Amino acid sequence: MKKNSPYNLRYFQFSHIKHLTDIAHGIFTRIGGYSDFPYNSLNISFDVGDHPANVQNNIQLIHHVMGFTKYQALKQTHSCKIHVIETTSHDPLIGDALITSQSNILLIIKTADCQPVLLADPVNHQVAAIHSGWRGNVQNIIGKTIAKMIERGSKPQNILAGIGPSLGPCCAEFMHYQQELPEYMWSYAVKPNYFNFWEISKKQLQDKGVLEKNIEMSKMCTKCCNELFYSYRRNKISGRFASVIGIKIK
């Protein structure tokens, strides 16, 4: 991932998606927004107690940096509900993944330890943004989103995938994993009760045909890098940082 610093914001990009001329994306840090403590400062969630005007101003900052005038976000519920976006909606969309082939619509995912997964198909001109916490991994929302993209004409070997900053194997402790996680995930333990969900997501991508060479992982733990990213595990009262992707206007 490469780092940029425009307009006092800081965001990261995946190296293989960055070079696509018609697709814009970014993983924004918590730095550079309007929100006060404990949401300081680029919180984009209306649902954590922050002042709504601050949140809206933060989203507008991201629009300005990315060059989009429309956006679509979600009321995320740790589900496997996927929305295909043809036009933006002011009504709340409930779910955890977004897909679009329309230009000038920025897809936004909000996280604070869960995995933001961005997908780009430069051949079929589709992009997707996924919110995948451990419940999302259990339900395989990643695989289901790719399946939906394939239904809409994508070939998995053309899809580029990026797994953003999230809870790393150093901090992903699950004391009751035998009740919470399916048995096949137990082999991803790095030490007793700690699991590598980055590798689980990579496997779910590959199982749907995404090539290993087309998968990039940030390998940045949100709990360890709390100065850059919000972490619910570290601070229960916390903002949410933005992961965004969209097709540029031609």
pLDDT at 99 over 60: yes
Q: What is the residue type of 177?
A: Y
Is 70's pLDDT higher than 80? yes
109 closest CA partner among 52, 41, 166, 157: 166
Residue 150: its H or E element:
helix 141-151
Residue 38's nearest CA partner among 238, 188, 241 is 238
The CATH architecture annotation of domain 2-132+141-247 reads: 4-Layer Sandwich (3.60)
- What is the average pLDDT across 180-184? 97
Least confident of 6-15, 27-36, 55-64, 165-174: 6-15
Judged against a pLDDT cut of 90, whether residue 8 lies above it is answered with no
pLDDT tens sequence across 200-232 = 999 999 999 999 999 999 999 999 999 999 999
Contacts of 49 (CB under 8 A, 6+ apart): 39, 237
| pLDDT of 93 over the 60 cut | yes
Q: Averaged over 110-133, what is the pLDDT? A: 98
Yes or no: say if 14 and 118 are a contact pair by the CB < 8 Å rule: yes
Beta bridge partners of 173: 194
Residue ranges of the domains in the chain?
A: 2-132+141-247
Pull the structure tokens for residue 178: 């035998």
Which pLDDT belongs to residue 6?
Answer: 65
